[in-house]
Chains A and B, each alone.
Chain A
Amino acid sequence: MGCWVGKIARVNLTTGKVTVTDLPKEMAVSYLGGRGFGARILYDEVGPSVEPFSPENLLILATGPLNGSKAPSSSRFSVTTKSPLTGTIFDSNCGGKTGIKIKDAGYDVLIIEGKAAKPVWLMVDENGIKINDAANIWGQDVDITTDTLLGQVANPQSATVACIGPAGENLVRFAAIMDDKSRAVGRGGVGAVMGSKNLKAIVASGTSHESVVDQETLDFIVYEARKVLKQSPITSIGFPTYGTSSLVRVMDMMGAFPSYNFSESSFGYINDVSGETLREKIFVKQKACWGCPIGCKRVTKTKNGEGEGPEYESLWALGPECGIHDIEVIAEANYLCNRLGLDTMSAGVTIGCAMEMAQRGIVDSGVKFGDIPSLMKMIENIAYRRGFGDALAEGSRRFSEKYGVPEYAMQVKGMELPAYEPRAMGVQGLSFATSNRGGCHLRGNMLGPELLGVPKIVDHSGASGTVGLLIFHQHLSAAFDALGVCKFAGFAVSDEMLARMMTAITGIAFVPHDLHAAGERIWNLERLYNIREGFTSKDDTLPKRFTDEPLKSGAAKGRVVNLAPQMEEYYRYRGWSTTGIPGKEKLKLLGLEA
C-alpha cells in the first residue's frame, strides 16, 4: 500500500490477546493516517457511555503515511483517546521515534484496549507484540524506566521507549507519555489513560522498509522542499539558532505574550527569558527530531542539571505564566516535568491559576507568583497527588470550579491555553474556542498569517474575512497531523509539495485539495464525536477574561475578543447550523453521512 504498511494491531490488555487486521485502503486514502485514523477508530468504537479511565476507552497510536520517508520533518505520530482532561476526542502528537518504529515493526496503527491485571509493558517489533511484566519499573520516573527497558531489550540502539512517569500512574489528568525521555505526547492526559490501563511503557523496534512508487520524482520534490526550508529565515535561522523560544520577544513586542495567568499581555522580565538569553546562558547543543532539517530542539545545562528544553510553550508556562524569570529554574522545572511525565503547559497554567487564586485570597495552595521553591514543590505534589497537588492534578478547570471561581482557569473545554494572548490577535481566540480538543495552538495557529507573514501578513484586528483563513489552517493542521509532518515545516513547505510527495510515494494521485478535504473530514468527524458526547455551541467559548476584560497595556491595549460575530461567521463558513452542528449537505460532501 505504498506509504502505509497495511496492518492494524490490537492489544487487549484484559485478555492478553493480540490481533492483527488489514488497514482498509478506503480509510487510508480518506483519513491519511495519524490523527485521521485515530478519529475514525475512536468514533466507531468509543461511545458516550465509556469513561476515559475505563478499560473500554482506547489508546490509539497511529502513524502517518510520511513517517519514515524522506519527506522532511516527518516523524510525528498521534495518540488518540477520550481525554480525561476534556472529555472530548483527543489526539496528542509527538515527534519522537515511536511512530516510525511501530511502522518499522509492521503496523500503521497500534490499538490498546482493556486493562492489565498488574503493571505491564509492551514490546513491539517485527516478531510481533509481547506483553511483559512491569513490576520492576512501576513507580519509577521516566529516565529510570527508559534506561531500565533499554537495558532489557536485544537491540537498544534500534529501539525506542514511550513510557509514563509517576504522573501517569497516579492518573493526573494532564499526564504525558514521554518518548525517549524528552519528546512528549504531552497534552490531554494521554499518559493518565495509559496509566489507567496499567501500561507503563511501549518499546518499539524494527527495520525500515519504505516503499516508494516513483523514487526519482520523490527525490526531486524532497530536494525542492529542503531548499525552501533552507531559504526561509524562520526554519533556517530562527528555530535552529534560538529554538521555538525565538518567538518569546517577537510575541512580547506584539503584546501577545501572556504572563501572570493571562492577567498581563507582556512580561516585565522578557529579556531574562528570551531565546537569545536561553542560548547565551544554558544552551548546550541543537537537536532535531528524526529526519528534520530544522532542528528546533535545545539540549541545555544548568547548575543543577542537564536535559532537553525548554521549548517556547514550556518556557512560558513554567516561567512568565507563573511570574518566574530565572531561565535556569524554568529549564529545571521542565526537566522535572519530563521525569515525572507531566504536560508542561497544563502544569504551568494550572499552577498559574492557583497562584492567582492565592493572590486574590480565594485559596492558599502554597504557591505564589514568582516563588521558585513553591513551583518546584507543587510540580512534584501534582505528579504524586500530594496535598493541594491532588486538587491541581485535576487541571485548572476542576480546581477553580471547586472553589467557585471558574473564571480564573485559563482553559477551553478543560484544556489549559497556550502562550498566545487572544486579545492581541485577530482570530486566535476563535481558534481556541472552536478547537475540538480544547485550548490549543496546534489546531489552526494564526501565528503564520497574523504575525510571521506566512503566507502573507493579514489584518489581525479580527476583521471579517480572516475566519476563512483560520478554517483553512484548521484543515491544513489536521492534514499535517494525519500525514505525520511537523507544522513547523509548514512555515516553508506547501500543501502542494506534500501532495506531490504522497503521489510519488503511493502512486495514487493526490492534489492539495485532497489534503484539505481530508483535514475537513477529520475536523467534522471530531466535531460529530464531541456532539455525541454532549458538547454544544456553548462549549465553543473562552474564559471571560478575554471577552470582558480589556488589555491593560501593551501593543494591543484596550482590546477584547469579540467572539460572537466571529463564531456566527465561522459556523456559516463551515456549512454548520447556527448552533454549530454540521449540516447534512456538508456531511454528504465529506462522506460522513450516517
Chain B
Amino acid sequence: MLEEFQRIGRDLFLSGLVSSHGGNMSVRMGDRVLITHRGSPLGQITAEDIVETGLYDNDSSIMLASSETPVHRTIYQQTAGLAIVHAHPKVAVALSLFEDEIIPIDNEGSYLLHKVPVISSEIASGTAMAGIVAESLQKYKITMVRGHGCFAIGQVLEEAWQWVSCLEESAMVIYYARTLGGQTKEFRKNADQYKKW
C-alpha cells in the first residue's frame, strides 16, 4: 500500500497536479482510513507520511492526519469509493473561477467524465464543504471545489488519479480552444446532452 501512495503521489507532483506540499490522498480499509500526513510532500512520501485513523470515530491520529480528513471521512461514508485523491490541477482551478461545471470538449474527457460539477466553499476542511463534496461525489466520480482543487474517488488510488489527470487535460484543451478563439467543430453525436449528465 505504501508503494501505491508513493507511486501516485510522485506522479501527481511531477505532472504538476499538486504543489510541493499540496493535495492529499487516502484509502478506505473497512472502518479505518489510511490518509496522508498533514502537509506531507506527495512527491516524497515515506512510511511516516501515512496516518491511520477511524472512518466513523475520531482518535488522536487526527493530530497528524491531513486537515481534510473530515472531507475524506464523509465521502467514504456517503459513497462507494475506496480511494480518494485531492489535487490542485491549475487549469481546472482557473476554469472553476468562471464556470459552474466543466464540460470536457475533448474525446477522452467526454468519454470518461462527461461533466465535472463545480461547487463553492471558502473553508477547505469544513463540515459544510464535506457534505456538499460528498453529495456531489454520489453522482460524479470527480468534483471541483471552486478556486481550490478537485476530489476524485475510485476503487483504487490509481483510478482516482486517472480522473484527476483526465480533468486537467480536458481543462487544458478547453483553455487552448478558447485561446485559439472561434467556433469549435463538434464531433460528438450527443454534445448537447453532456450538460444533463
Report if A and B associate in a common complex.
Answer: yes
Known: A455-B154, A472-B155. A463 touches B111 (CB 8 A): no
Is the pair A569, B30 in contact by a Cβ cutoff of 8 Å?
A: yes
Q: Is the CB–CB distance between A516 and B80 below 8 Å?
A: yes
Question: Are B155 and A511 in contact, with the CB atoms below 8 A?
Answer: no
Q: Is the CB of A574 within 8 A of B30?
A: yes
Q: Is the CB of A231 within 8 A of B111?
A: yes
A512 touches which one: B28, B80, B154, B158 (CB < 8 A)? B80
Closest chain B residue to A512 by CB distance? B80
Interchain CB contact under 8 A, A463 and B1: yes
Instruction: Report A435-476 CB contacts with B as 1/0, cut-off 8 Å.
Output: 000000000000001000001101000011101110010010
CA distance A330 to B139 in the complex (A): 46
> Quick one: which of A223, A455, A569 contacts B190, CB cutoff 8 A?
A223
Tell me which of B29, B159, B190 contacts A573 (CB under 8 A). B29
The answer to whether the Cβ of A227 comes within 8 Å of any Cβ in the partner chain is yes
Kindly list chain B residues whose C-beta atoms are within 8 Å of the C-beta of A465: 1, 27, 29
B111 touches A468 (CB 8 A): no
CB pair B156 A458 closer than 8 Å: yes
Q: Is the CB of B1 within 8 A of A464?
A: yes
Contacting residues of chain B (17-54) with chain A, CB-CB under 8 angstroms:
27-31
Does B185 belong to the interface (CB within 8 Å)?
no
**Which residue of B80, B159, B162, B189 contacts A475 across the interface (Cβ within 8 Å)?**
B80
Q: Does B120 contact A (CB under 8 A)?
A: no
A569 to B140, CA, bound (A): 29
| Distance of A512 Cα from B197 Cα, bound (Å) | 14
* Cβ of B193 under 8 Å from chain A: yes
Q: Is B6 an interface residue (CB 8 A)?
A: no
A573 vs B156: C-alpha distance in the bound complex, in angstroms?
16
Q: Select which of A216, A223, A463, A472 is within 8 A of B82 by beta carbon.
A: A472
Q: Which residues of B contact A468 (CB under 8 A)?
A: 27-30, 82
A227 touches B111 (CB 8 A): yes
Interchain nearest-CB distance for A478 vs B (Å): 12
Whether, in the assembled complex, B138 has its beta carbon less than 8 Å from a beta carbon of chain A, the answer is yes
B31 CB contact (under 8 Å) in A449, A516, A572: A572
- Residues of A in contact (CB 8 Å), total 33
Known: A217-B196, A449-B155, A456-B156. A513 touches B138 (CB 8 A): yes
Bound: A463/B154 CA distance, A: 18
Q: Smallest distance from the beta carbon of A495 to chain B beta carbons, Å?
A: 7
Contact between A456 and B190, CB atoms less than 8 A apart = no
Q: When each residue 488-499 of chain A gets 1 if its CB lies under 8 Å from chain B and 0 otherwise, what string results?
A: 000000011000
| Number of interchain pairs (Cβ within 8 Å) | 72
A32 to B31, CA, bound (A): 26
Most buried by A among B80, B140, B189, B196: B80
Q: How far is the CA of A464 from the CA of B158 in the complex (A)?
A: 16
Closest to A515 in B: B80
Q: In the complex, A496 Cα to B190 Cα: how many Å?
A: 18
Q: How far is the CB of B162 from chain A (nearest CB, A)?
A: 8
Nearest chain A residue, comparing its CB with the CB of B78: A513
What is the CB-to-nearest-CB distance from B189 to chain A, in angstroms, rounded to a whole number?
7
Among B79, B114, B156, B196, residue most surrounded by chain A Cβ atoms (within 10 Å): B156
Q: Which residues of B contact A575 (CB under 8 A)?
A: 30-31
Residues of B64-107 whose CB lies within 8 A of A: 78-80, 82
CB–CB A220/B30 < 8 A: no
Q: Does B146 contact A (CB under 8 A)?
A: no
List the A side residues contacting B1 at CB < 8 Å.
463-465
How far is the CB of A431 from the nearest CB of chain B, in Å? 15
Is B148 an interface residue when CB atoms closer than 8 A count as contact? no
Does A407 count as interface, using CB distance less than 8 angstroms?
no
User: Are B111 and A228 in contact (CB-based, < 8 A)?
Assistant: yes
- Could you tell me if B156 and A449 are in contact, using CB atoms closer than 8 angstroms? yes
A147 at the interface (CB under 8 A from B): no
Q: Which residue of B lies closest to A520 (CB)?
A: B80
Q: How far is the CB of B150 from chain A (nearest CB, A)?
A: 17
Find residues 397-424 in chain A having any chain B CB closer than 8 Å to their own CB: none
Smallest beta-carbon distance A389→chain B, Å: 45
User: Are A220 and B139 in contact, CB atoms less than 8 angstroms apart?
Assistant: no
In chain B, positions 104-151 with a C-beta closer than 8 Å to chain A are 111, 114, 138-141
Does A224 reach chain B (CB closer than 8 Å)? yes
Query: Can you list 10 contacts pairing A with B, beta carbon distance less than 8 Å?
Result: A217-B196, A220-B196, A223-B189, A223-B190, A456-B156, A469-B82, A472-B155, A496-B139, A500-B197, A573-B30
A496-B140, A569-B29, A573-B31 known; 6 other A-B pairs, CB under 8 Å?
A: A465-B1, A468-B28, A475-B80, A495-B80, A512-B79, A574-B30
